């Protein structure tokens, strides 16, 4: 679903942070905005409501230019977690090039996590994206809290899927860049296979990831 203008040498990539309400999707973007270098990224736009942090989407843009002159814009969105905003979730998922599923580690949210993941699979199919092929990572957020699902249980349930799984506390700032970095790697692989980022534009995987995950000095 990559937006690519070969004549203008412009490419727009779209990553979406998905998950149940209040799992920490917006907090992840806030942390990325805080931790990553200002050079090459735009400002974070957050739309708040009383009942759910995100009623439409949050957007954090990144920019880079390849040695071959290709201008790449990477847009990172979140979607509202509440079921009543399902139409909005479908709209934001359209043309997604990669997805990070942000799960809530609390034991009380286990059913909501599964329901939200099933909703992700359904909505991806609705917009014509195959969950088996789209770059996808899972983050279990809120690991700093008590009464959370043991990591051993998460490993047992999710590792067989082959989807990369990360533990994180977006509130404390750890596991966030690692989750994003892995999604960026998988997205590069998918784009390179289709459009030849390395051969056609001189952009190596390591450089793509490095530039998009470079931390602000002192962070």
What is the residue extent of each domain of the chain? Answer: 3-213
**Residue 55 confidence (pLDDT):** 40
**Architecture of the domain delimited by 3-213:** 3-Layer(aba) Sandwich (3.40)
- Cβ(62)–Cβ(210) below 8 Å: no
Query: For residue range 84-110, what is the model confidence (pLDDT) as tens digits?
Result: 778 888 988 999 999 999 999 999 999
Residues of the chain with pLDDT under 70: 1, 47-58, 81, 83, 218-219
CA–CA separation, 203 and 192 (whole Å): 9
Instruction: Tell me the whole-structure pTM to 2 decimals.
Output: 0.93
CB atoms within 10 A of CB 153: 12
**Residue 174 confidence (pLDDT):** 98
**Residue 133 confidence (pLDDT):** 97
- Cβ(193)–Cβ(52) below 8 Å: no
Say what percent of the chain tops pLDDT 70: 92
Nearest to 213 by CA among 16, 56, 26, 40: 40
């Amino acid at each position: 679903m990559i937006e690519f203008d070969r004549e203008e040498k412009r490419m727009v990539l779209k990553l979406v942070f998905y998950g149940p309400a209040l799992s920490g999707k917006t907090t992840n973007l806030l942390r990325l905005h805080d931790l990553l270098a200002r050079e090459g990224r735009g400002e974070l736009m957050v739309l708040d409501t009383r009942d759910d942090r995100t009623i439409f989407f949050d957007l954090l843009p990144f920019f880079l230019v390849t040695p071959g002159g290709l201008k790449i814009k990477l847009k990172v969105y979140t979607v509202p977690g509440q079921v009543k905003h399902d139409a909005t979730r479908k709209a934001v998922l359209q043309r997604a090039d990669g997805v990070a599923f942000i799960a809530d580690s609390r034991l009380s949210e286990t059913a909501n996590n599964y329901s939200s993941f099933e909703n992700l699979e359904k909505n991806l199919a609705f917009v014509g994206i195959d969950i088996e092929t789209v770059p996808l990572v899972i983050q279990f957020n809120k690991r700093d809290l008590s009464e959370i699902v043991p990591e051993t249980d998460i490993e047992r349930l999710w590792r067989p899927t082959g989807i990369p799984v990360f533990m994180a506390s977006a509130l404390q700032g750890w596991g966030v860049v690692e989750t994003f970095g892995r999604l960026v790697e998988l997205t590069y692989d998918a784009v390179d296979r289709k459009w030849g980022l390395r051969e056609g534009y001189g952009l190596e995987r390591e450089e793509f990831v490095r530039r998009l995950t470079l931390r602000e000095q002192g962070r």
